Structure 1
Amino acid sequence: MAVKKLTSDLKQKLIQQSLHRKLKNSAAEADKPVASLNGSAIPDKFCRFDQHPGYTQMQIMNKGAEQLGVESPFFRVHEGLAGSTTTIEGRELVNFASYNYLNLSGHPEINQAACQAIEQYGTSVSASRIVSGERPIHRQLEQALANTYGVDDAVVFVSGHATNVSTLGYLFGAKDLIIHDEYIHNSSIVGAQLSGARRLAFPHNNLDALERLLQENRHQFERVIIVVEGLYSMDGDFPDLNRLVQLKQQYRVFLMVDEAHSFGVLGKTGKGLRETFNVAASDVDIWMGTLSKTLSGCGGYIAGESALVENLRYLAPGFLYSVGIPAPVAAAALKSLEIMAREPERVVRLRSISEYFIAKARKLKLNTGDSEGIAIIPVILGSSVKAATLSSALFKQGINVQPILYPAVPEKSARLRFFLSCEHTPEQVDTTLDKLAALL
């Protein structure tokens, strides 16, 4: 039996090495310069999508998974609400794969608010807001967000990803510097690239390294901004906001905090990173967040001083040239804010079940990395094959949790990523972690 197991392990290792070589070679081939070509001399790979490097990499990864007998965990269809439980393929499963942290998506009051907005405004505002898409519900939501943050104003974009892309892409330029945590979301990286500004990354949550970058580079640029997240969605940890504010003030730079996952989660009442650190909202220049997690909608927002918000409202391409968010989505987010303020016990329950989860995981000697144990908890497995295999095995046993695989994370950091809801129970956590430990 030992020989058989060794052979199986060796086979997986060899397949993984082969996949990595193929991916590396594919990327290297894509980076080769195009020779002077004309007419029929142009190779197929430059005019066919089935030979695009990205598609080629997908095919290699899918073939590798097929060879290992691993089912794809992606694009599974949820047949109803996705909270602490969900229904997929006609089966009810315990669900750890949704951002419905406070269990507000599907709340009867929120559904009713959305339906009323449909009755009054329809399903689309049918234009950019600056032209003729403005509705009262838009400004009501933005003022409610500003009041929640304790800042002058807020502006809502139709997409969370586009919020970061458009804000950074518009506000900064070739004479500026954008410094960000190495784990920052793709949307901020794309926004920085679009801006034309110089971009530097510092090691994750290493604020000493950030300060060294500021010491070495601040004087070479006009505007400089530090971009961090309030709660990192891969690792479930957060930065020291007090130190970030100190650095921002010392080096006279802007500070932007992406609260996509921290708003509604961190702090005694869910007001995010500033509530955790008791920092004045005005100490951060740009607060960014999304409507798709705790606020039960879709889209993103920027909150801050009037000059910032008015500038974006009139000139940021992602707002100016895009349709306004649908009124029912705005109504759902507005009602979510109301319920979140009215029922702070939801945040308390989320924290309680998160602490229960991470304590049990650590008792079972599972590697939870640097997670702070609130809403997002990874179990690091160190192998994409192992992560995908365990996700599939748990799915068959009634538990839905997504694997995070290479190249989304380094191979040694491949993991299962658990998103907690305030409605998860200790029994669901016990069942899940016991089954995971048994499979391991």
Structure 2
Amino acid sequence: MNKLNKGLFGLSGKAKESLIQKALEKRSARAAENDAAEAPRRSAFGTRKSVSDDLCRFDKLPGYKELLVQKLAADELKIDNPFFRLHDGIASATSVVNGQACINFSSYNYLDLSGHPRISGAAKAAIDQYGTSVSASRPVSGERPVQRDLEQALARIHGTDDAVVFVSGHATNVTSIGYLFGPKDLVLHDSLIHNSVLQGIQLSGAFRLSFPHNDWQALEQLLEQRRHEFERVLIVVEGIYSMDGDHPDLPRFIELKKRHKAFLMVDEAHSVGVMGARGHGIAEHYGIAGDEVDIWMGTLSKSLSGCGGYIAGEQALIDHLKFSAPGFLYSVGIPAPMAAASLEAIRVMEEEPDRVSRLCERSRYFLERAREAGLDTGRSAGYSVVPILCGSSIKAVRLSNMLLKRGINVQPIVYPAVEEKLARLRFFISCAHTEEQIDATVQAIVEAQHQI
């Protein structure tokens, strides 16, 4: 029960235990009745060491209890569930949520390319030519030209030899880190790194250490103290951090990885399409050559309007992953329609660089207006992601629901995804947002905060 004693939803440990008890009393009573009914049958098979029924019940799992606390607390406080809202149509700067037209800030459609006629047309043409699935892993089912065309385009964006595409962004990190590193290795990661990286490290069996967010000096100290204890060392950072909207001083991390003979991996899920004049990411932003970073990772589901993830790097890395990484070798290949959509998104992004510049302008505008209004935007640097810190999960959820009634859709981020005191609304900006929409949104936040 230790995890339940943290600040979830602003409730005390005693209050949470009470909520859980109420929910489980009826279930326990039903379980007791079932046990009584089963007792005669069990006695016929003799006496064995008893195994608790809790070990074969999903409602007794610790994770389920945490979910139960959130649901019961919301019911007790009469707070509507802000998650899994129903969208009817393309979600970009606007959307239709639960039948209501809204300004939308809950989509990674940064460049307004999901739903673009050229991209939808490319996906439809690929369906006609290849169908909806390649039906097996690529070593088994073979290649489709559009899959390789996409990988070569991604390699060009990152300035690397080649790239390999996986069917899931999360699985890309899990299988790549999990396969490439092992128990004799060390992985050093930013304290705010994505869950997929943590899962990959756990799978690898490597020793794991985190360093304070974006603190290259702290990383340097760790490398000086611990590098000699391990064979290979991997440093992992993100291009843009999706919770906070800031980015690392990449040249500093490159210098450290060279000096200490380590690998450097950059997760560009939220920075491709956002940073750099052409949307080529954090390397373009800093004017860094692609081979200065060992492993580039990215996703296709955000600026590139598809689904899946990828690794870009030197040929030896890509060949190794394509022929041996379990998440590629034993998983179905990316469907041709998704590959075609992302490939066409790259083409449109590069042909229309004003989408990237407009996104940056709108993001900075949102950040400036929010700060002028006295809103706490945390660490945001004004690149596509702007959080509004609320101070508690309850406030974040209530504010999200109040804004929805005003025609503004934005999701709350609550404990345990972030610390309770750092609960927030997370605004994803699109190049399609207008200054008028942003002005109206900031004003609505200020007014709604006074009503909480």
Letter in 1 for 2:403: L
Map of 2:121 onto structure 1? 112
Secondary structure of 2:11's partner? helix
Identity of aligned residues (%): 58
C-alpha offsets along residues 359-379 of structure 1, whole Å, 9 cap, x if unaligned?
Answer: 110000100011001100000
Map of 2:417 onto structure 1? 408
* Residues 220 and 286 (structure 1), Cα distance of their counterparts in 2 relative to 1, 3 Å cut: same
Letter in 2 for 1:123: T
Secondary structure of 1:66's partner? helix
Aligned partners of 1:104, 1:357: CA distance in 2, in Å?
21
Is the contact between residue 162 and residue 314 of structure 2 (CA under 8 Å) also seen in structure 1?
yes
* Residues 374 and 23 (structure 1), Cα distance of their counterparts in 2 relative to 1, 3 Å cut: farther
Secondary structure of 1:314's partner? helix
Secondary structure of 1:77's partner? coil
Deviation for aligned residue 1:44: 2.0
Map of 1:289 onto structure 2? 298
Query: Which sits farther off after the overlay, 142-151 or 246-255?
Result: 142-151
* Residues 364 and 24 (structure 1), Cα distance of their counterparts in 2 relative to 1, 3 Å cut: farther
Question: What TM-score results when the alignment is normalised by the length of structure 1?
Answer: 0.92
The runs of 5 or more residues in structure 1 that have no matched partner are 1-12, 27-37
Query: Which sits farther off after the overlay, 191-200 or 69-78?
Result: 69-78
* Residue 439 (str. 1) matches residue 448 (str. 2): yes
Map of 1:41 onto structure 2? 50
Secondary structure of 1:45's partner? helix
Equivalent positions of 1:53-92 (< 5 A) are 53-92=62-101
Map of 2:36 onto structure 1? none
Deviation for aligned residue 1:20: 8.1
Map of 1:372 onto structure 2? 381
Equivalent positions of 1:199-218 (< 5 A) are 199-218=208-227
Deviation for aligned residue 1:17: 2.8
* Residue 194 (str. 1) matches residue 203 (str. 2): yes
Secondary structure of 2:397's partner? helix
C-alpha offsets along residues 39-81 of structure 1, whole Å, 9 cap, x if unaligned?
Answer: 5622222110121111111111111111111111111111100
Is the contact between residue 19 and residue 72 of structure 2 (CA under 8 Å) also seen in structure 1?
no
Aligned partners of 1:281, 1:359: CA distance in 2, in Å?
32
Is the contact between residue 223 and residue 253 of structure 1 (CA under 8 Å) also seen in structure 2?
yes
Deviation for aligned residue 1:23: 7.5
Aligned partners of 2:161, 2:18: CA distance in 1, in Å?
49
* Residue 160 (str. 1) matches residue 169 (str. 2): yes
Q: Find 1:312's aligned residue among 294, 315, 321.
A: 321
Is the contact between residue 133 and residue 324 of structure 1 (CA under 8 Å) also seen in structure 2?
no
C-alpha offsets along residues 151-197 of structure 1, whole Å, 9 cap, x if unaligned?
Answer: 10000001000000000000000100000001000000000000000
Map of 1:338 onto structure 2? 347
Aligned partners of 2:15, 2:139: CA distance in 1, in Å?
50
Aligned partners of 1:163, 1:14: CA distance in 2, in Å?
31
Secondary structure of 1:41's partner? coil
Choose 1 or 2 for highest CA Rg: 2
* Residue 268 (str. 1) matches residue 268 (str. 2): no
Alpha carbon RMSD of aligned pairs, Å?
Answer: 1.7
Map of 1:424 onto structure 2? 433
* Residues 20 and 174 (structure 1), Cα distance of their counterparts in 2 relative to 1, 3 Å cut: farther
Secondary structure of 1:105's partner? coil
Map of 2:182 onto structure 1? 173
Deviation for aligned residue 1:14: 11
Map of 2:104 onto structure 1? 95
Question: What TM-score results when the alignment is normalised by the length of structure 2?
Answer: 0.90
Equivalenced residues, count: 417
Aligned partners of 1:16, 1:43: CA distance in 2, in Å?
32
Please list every run of at least 4 consecutive aligned residues from structure 1 whose deviation after the TM superposition is greater than 6 angstroms.
23-26
Map of 2:12 onto structure 1? 18
